[in-house]
Amino acid sequence: MPVIHMRVNGNPVSGEVEARTLLVQFLRDDLRLTGTHVGCDTSQCGACVVHVDGKSVKSCTMLAIMADDCEVMTIEGLANGSELHPMQQAFMDNHGLQCGFCTPGMVMSALDIVERNGNELDEATIRKELTGNICRCTGYHNIVKAVKAGAKAMGD
Amino acid sequence: MAENGIGASVRRKEDKRYLIGKGNYTDDINVVGQTYAIFVRSPHAHATINSIDTANAEAAAGVVAGFTGDELAADGIELSLL
């Protein structure tokens, strides 16, 4: 079986996985990083979004072996000890989550939105950029507010 | 806005663990020795169950046990058709 090496949240990790193992399975089952979720099995919901080499990726739609030698960041890598990342804090302050299942994917996508669009985001941009993330609870209203506030806070 | 009482903003307490990826949803649970339940459903929309033969299933590799409705009833677990 292939042996893969990567850095996850700054830590070097390795594992022996079947070639068909998805990155999300490797993260959840082998590394026990269960913050990244499987929500749909159809690549639609975005609950599995992580960053691979700085770009947001649906980890259910890539193989673990494709992340060999890569830098992977998951939701678990955001907070600095007990201090939340500004985007996480913005979700908390703006009631951007209810059941929380989509939240890791939303936050990881939000960071990528900021990376590509800057800190002053308008609602239309946020809504368009979050097309790949589904939420069943909130109606997106407060998620949009949270992303906007988090983007601004990241620029401060 | 009031500090407390009517009109006060009441913050949720559970958000932090969801935000840092420690939500511990059902599929996140992983304990040593855990088993997985598979439900075998009737392939027929409307039929009478004459018998259930679990022998092959229980003999399969990795199978811990197989249970039918009779065994649940024998243990006092009531199943009612709603």
Q: In A, which residues are within 8 Å of B25 by CB distance?
A: 34, 37, 101
ipTM score assigned to the predicted complex: 0.94
Which residue from B23, B14, B62 is spatially nearest to A28, judged by alpha carbons? B23
Does residue A43 surpass a pLDDT of 90?
A: yes
A154 burial type by CB count under 10 A (0-12 exposed, 13-18 middle, 19+ buried) = middle
User: What pLDDT does residue A111 have?
Assistant: 98
The three-point CA angle A9-A11-A16 to 5° equals 105
Sign, CA dihedral A39-A45-A47-A50, equals positive
Q: A88–B19: do the CB atoms touch at under 8 Å?
A: yes
Token reading at A123? 């609602």
Across-strand partners of A7?
A12, A71
Min Cα–Cα distance to chain B from A2, Å: 24
Catalogue the long-range contacts made by A112-117 (C-beta closer than 8 Å, 24 or more residues apart): A112/A49, A112/A51, A112/A55, A112/A56, A113/A147, A113/A151, A114/A87, A114/A150, A114/A151, A114/A154, A115/A54, A117/A151
H-only helix segments in chain A: 23-25, 86-93, 103-117, 123-129, 141-155
Of the partner residues A36, A37, A92, the one whose CB lies closest to the CB of residue B15: A92
Min Cα–Cα distance to chain B from A75, Å: 6
User: What pLDDT does residue A153 have?
Assistant: 98
Please state the φ and ψ torsions of residue A115, each to the nearest 5 degrees.
-55, -40
Answer whether B19's CB lies under 8 Å from A88's CB.
yes
Task: Please indicate if any CB of chain B lies within 8 Å of the CB of A145.
Answer: no
Task: Please indicate if any CB of chain B lies within 8 Å of the CB of A137.
Answer: no
Does residue A24 surpass a pLDDT of 80?
A: yes
Q: Which band of pLDDT confidence, cut at 50, 70 and 90, is reported for residue A97?
A: very high
Consecutive sets of 10 residues in chain B, 82 residues long: mean pLDDT of each?
Answer: 79 96 94 91 93 94 92 86 60
Of the partner residues B12, B19, B27, the one whose CB lies closest to the CB of residue A84: B19
Q: Whose structure tokens read 């979720």?
A: A37
A78/A72 Cα distance (integer angstroms): 12
User: What pLDDT does residue A86 have?
Assistant: 98
Q: B16–A84: do the CB atoms touch at under 8 Å?
A: yes
B82/B80 Cα distance (integer angstroms): 6
Q: Record the pTM.
A: 0.86
CA dihedral of A75, A130, A71, B19, whole degrees rounded to 10: -10
In chain B, the residue whose alpha carbon lies closest to the alpha carbon of A84 is: B20
SS3 A56: strand
Min Cα–Cα distance to chain A from B12, Å: 8
Task: Please indicate if any CB of chain B lies within 8 Å of the CB of A136.
Answer: no
Task: Please indicate if any CB of chain B lies within 8 Å of the CB of A62.
Answer: no
Across-strand partners of A57?
A50
User: What pLDDT does residue B26 have?
Assistant: 94
User: What pLDDT does residue B70 have?
Assistant: 87
Of the partner residues A28, A74, A103, the one whose CB lies closest to the CB of residue B18: A103
SS3 A150: helix
User: What pLDDT does residue A10 have?
Assistant: 97
Tell me the percentage of chain A whose pLDDT exceeds 70: 100
Does residue A52 surpass a pLDDT of 60?
A: yes
Q: A32–B30: do the CB atoms touch at under 8 Å?
A: yes
Min Cα–Cα distance to chain A from B27, Å: 9
Which residue from A96, A90, A78, A104 is spatially nearest to A8, judged by alpha carbons? A78
